Amino acid sequence: MKIKKTVLPNKLRIITIPMDTPTVTVLVLVQTGSKYETKNINGISHFLEHMCFKGTKKRPTALDIAKELDGIGSKYNAFTSHEYTGYYAKVEKKHFNTVLDVVSDIYLYPVFDSREVEKEKGVIADEINMFEDTPSRHAHDLFGRLLYGDQPAGWNVAGTKEIIRSLSRDDFAAYRDKHYVASSTIVVIAGNINEVGAIRKVKEKFAGISTGKKGGKLKVKESQKKPELLLKHKKTDQTHLVLGFRAIDAFSKWRPALTVIASILGGGMSSRLFQKLRDEMGVGYYVRADGDFYTDHGSIAVSTGVTNSRAGEVVMAILQEFKKLKRELVSSEELNKVKEHLIGNMYLELEPSDEIAMFYGGQEVIVGKTKKAEEVEKEIRKVTSQQIKELSNKLFNNKNLNMAMIGPFKDKGKFGKILRI
């Protein structure tokens, strides 16, 4: 697969990935998210993403945008994270020109109608309520708050209802002018395209993009001396928890090893924690482990939902598996199984054009360069049992250990006593 990166004189980046497929995906990424915000406008990155679909100079209403995209059978959406925001649409290849026109239009020329801003505040408030009413989701927000506290990395991407209600049209315009600039923007075109023609069309559509100075973000501050626990009391049938450790950033040479560790613990039905919790202990419908990698920080965490009465023993079982990685070498049989799982799943996910666009665009927006899937595969295959043990001993200690928990408990004392490694 050929991947080409073109950097224009204004520093706009274009990534083209020709594919033998009946579809094409247009993805526009911008290097801004909640970590680029100040406290008084926390949530504006996500709110702005919503507003870009509410009307442009060329397409004045949300319905105009939706009808045009629906009318060509497009799959489209947008998303906001801590460090970037994305807008994408996937269509049959014959509609490439139309979808590029629409996506570039909503990105470059939103109008931010004040009446639409006021209406959308209710939608965002309901979205925040939905997240808070979903313990398996909300526990991750609490884990981030526990790790990073009152700084951008610890704030909720969606913001708070109080701040959302205070935002005005002028706030959106000012924030967009600061961050939606050429040097922060990446346009990814993946699918059945003529590469030269696609690059030319992107240049034309994005000719009007601002060339202002790129907005920055505060460096994350991390400080911890002992295990930390955040318990939110809520009457639930299950206890939902996220237990993990401060770890490494996206640039670390240890990233492939931590990816393998996460898969050993919670990657698939044969993983250690799935077997331990589901098959041996008979608790927890879901259990997974994930590594999160950002530009200047990262973490690894296990998440699960379990019967309230057995939450304590589940915490101890999870900690035991982290301890085991510190003490014992992973067998060659298990290590090879995990590697094949990771590599096989990566290639399966990279079949459609939208996943290809996100795979390469996501790398570019975080680390500023891309690796082909074959390069990622080589890195995973090179991970050794000794590296896993070494990294585990480096990271899995009390000064990195954190747990966020939602359940019907008022006293966190009993969990605090067992939260040790």
Q: Tell me how far apart the alpha carbons of residues 24 and 169 are, in angstroms, rounded to a whole number.
A: 34
323's tokens: 């301890």
184's tokens: 């922060």
CB 389 within 8 Å of CB 261: no
Helix (H) or strand (E) holding 78, with range, is: strand 75-80
Q: Tell me how far apart the alpha carbons of residues 380 and 383 are, in angstroms, rounded to a whole number.
A: 6
Q: Tell me how far apart the alpha carbons of residues 335 and 102 are, in angstroms, rounded to a whole number.
A: 46
Tell which residue, 10, 98, 3, has the closest CA to residue 58. Answer: 98
Show which residues are catalytic: 49
Q: Tell me how far apart the alpha carbons of residues 370 and 399 are, in angstroms, rounded to a whole number.
A: 33
CB 176 within 8 Å of CB 3: no
In order of 254, 261, 296, 362, the CA distances from 345 in angstroms are: 21, 16, 27, 17
CA angle 238, 242, 245 (to 5 degrees): 160
Tell which residue, 325, 323, 301, has the closest CA to residue 385. Answer: 325
Residues in the chain: 421
In order, the DSSP letters of 27-64 are: EEEES-SGGG--GGGTTHHHHHHHHTTS-BSSS-SHHH
